[in-house]
Each structure stands twice: as structure tokens, then as C-alpha cells.
Structure 1
Amino acid sequence: MSEVRSVAQRGDLFGQRVREHVAGQPMRRLDVLVAGCAHDEPLVLEHIDTRVTGADEDHPAIRRVLEERADLVAWQLGDLRSVPLPPRSFDIIQLSFLLERVRHAELVFDRLLQSLRPGGLVLLRMRDRRSAYGLLDRLTPGPLRRLLWRGLVRPGTPGPLPAVYEPLASSDGMHAFCLSRGLMITDDERDLSGPARSRRIGAAAVALASKLTSGYFPASHDEITMVIRKPQHHFARLL
């Protein structure tokens, strides 16, 4: 069952699930892939040795953020359907606001999953195409998004990034995808984090979109937060 949580609670959720993941295992380095590097929210994992690698689409705003991130030991930009990602190389994939802004999202996610070790975790955050915020984001023409961006977000927010929103960028789409790949969703929550909500006009536009669609696209959330586990057994489609 989904629930709405605060940003602080979400961060605690990811850290808690990772700590549970390593509990009882021999002490070793935890290899983490950050897929979606525009949001600088590194995992806070005290007393756990981590090696963090980044991967994302090649976009000027993302490149600027990457040059300022100190938590990444290496990173690559390019088409995520072909960027080098050795199979079974990572224990954790932190997938941050990427799937809603790339084309061929299922192919990209399949590729990322191939680099995840059996039993590994995906810490997923994505904007929901079925929210009022997601509706406005994907229907606003690119030139208008670029014109309004700086007036709607806090200074320093990278973007505007592409708004593609394929069906995978939704709760139903992600649940269907995980079912078809033999993946287990252990946590499924909803959050409010859209950057345009930081301004009154942005919040008003989201509320209006929800009202005009009779709540079919709700204003109650804009972000989907999930923890997904890749199974250990050899029957899973992706190993």
C-alpha cells in the first residue's frame, strides 16, 4: 500500500533499507550506481564503506552538476542504452528522477538492472506522470518551460531537463514492469518534492490542473518513491 511521506522520512527509508541489506554480511565495500545525477542527495551511510559511480544522459545542466559533486569516484554521460555498465557490478542503484526524462525508459531500466548484483536494491525516485504536477510538466511546451523555469524554482536547481514521461514513469507502469521481470517492490510511497511547488504560482497551477481533471491527476503528490529488490534465484529474467 502506498502512503505519502516527507522528504526527511524518505531519506531515512533508503538508509534503513541499505543498512538492512548489509546487516549480517561480511564487511566489504558497497558498490553504488547513481543513475540520475542532477540531484545531489548522496546516501548517508555511517560506518559503511561505499564506492559511488554516476551515470546519466549527456545534458549541459547535468554536466555542470557532476563537475561539482564530490561523492562520485567516476561518472559517465551518454545514451544509457549503450553507456558501459559491467554486468553484476553494483549492490545498490540509486535511480533519481531519470526515468521520466529519458526515451526508451524500459530499455534503460533493463540495462541498469543488468549491472545490479542478484539480491541488490534499487532506490527509486521519479516524477509521476499520473500526478497533476507530472501532467503540467509533460504538456508544457519546451520553450515555455525554459522561459518559466528560473521564476518557478529555487536558485541553483538544474534544468529544465527533458519531460518525456513514458508509461513506466507511473505506479501502474512500474508495478507491471517489476512483475514481468520478477522484481519485488518492498516499499511504495508518495511524496511532494516538485521544484516548481516552491513558488506560489507553481503550486496554484498544480492545484488548478487537479481541479480541471476532477482529481484524476491529483495534486496530493508528484513523486513516487520505491525500494525494489532483485531476486537471488536463477529463475529471474534479469541476472
Structure 2
Amino acid sequence: MSEVRSVARRGDLFSERVRDHCAGRPVRRLDVLVAGCAHDQPLALEWIETRATGADEDHPAIRRVLEERADLVAWSLGDLRSVPLPPRSYDLIQLSFLLERVRHAELVLDRLLRSLRPGGLVLLRMRDRRSAYGLLDRLTPSWLRRPLWRFLVTPGTPGPLPTVYEPLTSSDALHAFCLSRGLMVTDEERNTSGPARSGRIGTAAVAAISWLTNGRYPATHDEITMVIRKPQHHFARLI
């Protein structure tokens, strides 16, 4: 397993890395792509102007959320292998709980990376397919997830959304992906935030999965948080 590097509290990690990214640079504004914009708000940075654009899969629950948001200058929904993503247009990509619910995850991530400027950052959050929660999430049939959803989340949370969990959605697979493309993983944390963990039934189900798998799918976390940097130099092996 890859070593987990916890260098800051989860709530501060992204802001600290963006602050480091901007230090000593004449940055007037950060262009941000919020990929997976059904969940996260654009990163709040009081000390610098940001312009956020959204992109996500075309799903009725996601469309309803985006139609009510005013914090994005524009957004696109559709197959993320083909939605408009101009190359080298963004300084930051917030990739929020998207990879685990899309097919062709490697192709989608490659395409997102093409839209990132050299030296830019990917601020990634996803569910870990190698966690007990991830296994439970992908094994629960859709006909059961739908009636349970409103009991597991706060009102207004879009969903339930698809659960795909391709091999890329694990720490080891992401590290291998980044290595093959010349990307640097600067930070990694593991946290707990899954909706099924908010109640006793969900917590008990996750614990049972961990026990039944002899800990191969641990109940200690369900979320992976990473900061990934795209190299500055033009000859890096990346898009």
C-alpha cells in the first residue's frame, strides 16, 4: 500500500496548497474547473479572485442543483469525454466525488488534465473502492439505494447518483496513474464522510463488511483526498 502523507487538517489542506501555489507569483485570478460540481462549492479564497466553471455528467439530480447555483460562471453537463474543456485553460481542478461514478474514468481524468495549465493543481476527493464503504456502496442495488437515500443525507443532496467504482478509484491505482503520466502526488489523506456513516445502521453495515472481508476492506475511512501537481516543464510525459 502507498504511504499516506497527512500534512494538514483536511479542511485546510486544499487552501494551504493553493496558497503555496500562488506564493511568489503574480497571480491576478485563478481559473477553476469544478469537476463533479453536484457536490462541492468552489474553493473559497478570500485573498485572491477566482472564476469557477463546472462540468459533470448529465443527470437529472445534478441538473436541478446546477440550475439553482450562482457561483459558477458557466457549466457543462454530458459525457465528460466530449464536453467542452479547452486545453490548458485552468489553474486548478476541483475533482469532487466524480471518478467513482463515471465509466472510462482514466479517459475522463486524462481529458481533465489536458485542460489544466502546466504547474496547475488537482484537488481530488473520491470514495475508495478498497474501503468497506466503497464495497458496500457498489454492491447495494439501485432499487434499494433510492428509498434509503433521503434517510442517509442532508436535505437537498443530489442523488442517488450512479456507483461504478472502476479500478482507478483506489489509492494505489491513482498513484500508478500519476506515475505513468509524470504527475506528482504532493499530499494524501484518508477520511470518513460517506452518507451511510451518519447513522447507526449505516455504520453497522460498514463494520460488518470490514469484518466479513477480514479487514481487506477497512472501515477506518471511505474517502481519499489528494493534491496532484502537473509539471511545469514542457517535456514531461503528460498530454
TM-score > 0.5 by shorter chain: yes
TM-score if structure 2 supplies the norm length? 0.95
The root-mean-square deviation of aligned C-alpha atoms, in Å, is: 1.4
Cα deviation 1:129-163 (Å, max 9, x = unaligned): 00000000001111111122112222222111000
Instruction: State the distance in 1 between where 2:132 and 2:48 align.
Output: 39
Deviation of 1:42 (Å): 2.5
Deviation at 1:27, TM superposition (A): 3.2
Matched, 1:137 2:121: no
- Cα offset for 1:48? 0.3
Unaligned runs of 5+ in 1: none
Is contact 1:3-1:190 (8 Å) kept? Answer: no
Percent of aligned pairs sharing the same letter? 81
Mapped partners of 1:188, 1:56: distance in 2: 24
- Structure 2 vs 1, CA of residues 3 and 184 (structure 1 numbering), >3 Å: closer, same or farther? closer
Q: How many aligned residue pairs are there?
A: 237
Distance, in Å, in 2 between the alignment partners of 1:113 and 1:27 is 21
**Structure 2 counterpart SS, 1:31:** strand
Measure, in 1, the Cα distance between the counterparts of 2:41 and 2:75: 16
CA contact (8 A) 2:6 2:188 kept: no
Q: Residue 161 of structure 2 corresponds to which residue in structure 1? A: 161
Shift of 1:3: 5.5
Say whether 1:150 aligns with 2:150. yes
Q: Check conservation: 1:5, 1:190, Cα contact below 8 A.
A: no
Amino acid at match of 1:150: R
| In structure 2, distance between residues paired with 1:5 and 1:61 | 35
Corresponding residue SS for 2:67: helix
Say if 2:218 is the partner of 1:209: no
Alignment of 1:75-154 (within 5 A): 75-154=75-154
Aligned pairs (5 A) from 1:33-48: 33-48=33-48
- Mark the runs of 5 or more structure 2 residues left unpaired by the alignment: none
1:164 counterpart letter in structure 2: V
Residues 204-213 or 66-75, more deviating: 66-75
Match of 1:25 in 2: 25
Q: How far 1:4 moved relative to its partner? A: 6.9
